[in-house]
Structure 1
């Protein structure tokens, strides 16, 4: 039995704006699988793995982006806020997920409107795509990811393309998905490794092209670390030869 295609949505936390730790993890590809296996939410039949992957920390260090940084950090704070009843002495929360999402959409939309053409604006647009994907609104998520893929810095664009490829699979557009993911495999970035794109492609091809998926996974399943582990898991989902 095949699982629905997965859309991997990278998120930045305010803490990550101040550290190089996650930049090194992204360079090695699929570290987020290990760190966020439990952070899985299902919306509209699509498994969304919410991964804390930093977006260009070095752009934030030592540069005079204070106003834009602050606006983006405030929007991220909204996204990080929990949901549930208020508890005295604990951090603030939103009463419902819907209220939180509405607040996050407004916050990121404001950043996008104010700082269009800057990295912060494109990061905000990526976040809007992530929220829409979480909501199962794949059409709007596709538009957001397309914008970042076309207009964003190469590093941010690669993250958008990774998510966009998986959205295409979920929308029943496998040819478009395969094309964009193969482009990422051929042209990896510091934020999206070739192996990460291969995993996404193999997963998306499982239902329709299991032989091609097997071929990709054969080259990955003996790799050390997370890449090999994820490849082995997907390999076990392949139909018998």
Structure 2
């Protein structure tokens, strides 16, 4: 039996509403209970689902309902307070896409640094360097400090680096909402290529057209809980109906 790509069981994570309410060491190391303390709220709770290799999952819901939090838990950026997240294989995270780049380093230095931090060997970076720069369309700026690039160039470079990773699971959080039309078309084509290779896609977006294009299955989150898990068309129809009735 083929192992699951992602398995989430009774997942819960809670946050403080302000800095004064931040957890202390007693909370973190054995002093916390499952009950919420004053100033805390559950961003996600009781969420259970699994993803098989090669599936394309779209996560929908209004702002503040736990979508990006879920993606960060799958990526390992956040840790759960309840339940578990098991990921079988590495992830290529297109989350907060320009994070991790260093302003004073050149484009060349940042590519080598960022790709290396994502687990790419020096030989792999050398082999793929020209492809990364060509995709980002910033060859004339390869020895320019990163901080001098335009926002559009920074996004193109970050997408180009992460999309070159060989990890089996691709995590995408609204990255296709940025950049000009020509760049978005390149992103679409690249994601199509990755899906054709059998990669698993976990995709958070408000763009219904993108969700229907890339995803076959959807997860609808509301108030930190999983409302519906099913075919992407059914999930979007339910989400839209709920949204319109609440408006």
Give the TM interval when normalised to the shorter protein: 0.3 to 0.5
User: Per chain length, whose mean CA-contact separation is higher, i.e. which structure has more relative contact order (CA < 8 Å, sep 6+)?
Assistant: 2
TM-score, structure 2 as length reference:
0.34
TM-score, structure 1 as length reference:
0.35
Which has the larger strand fraction? 2
Which has the larger helix fraction? 1
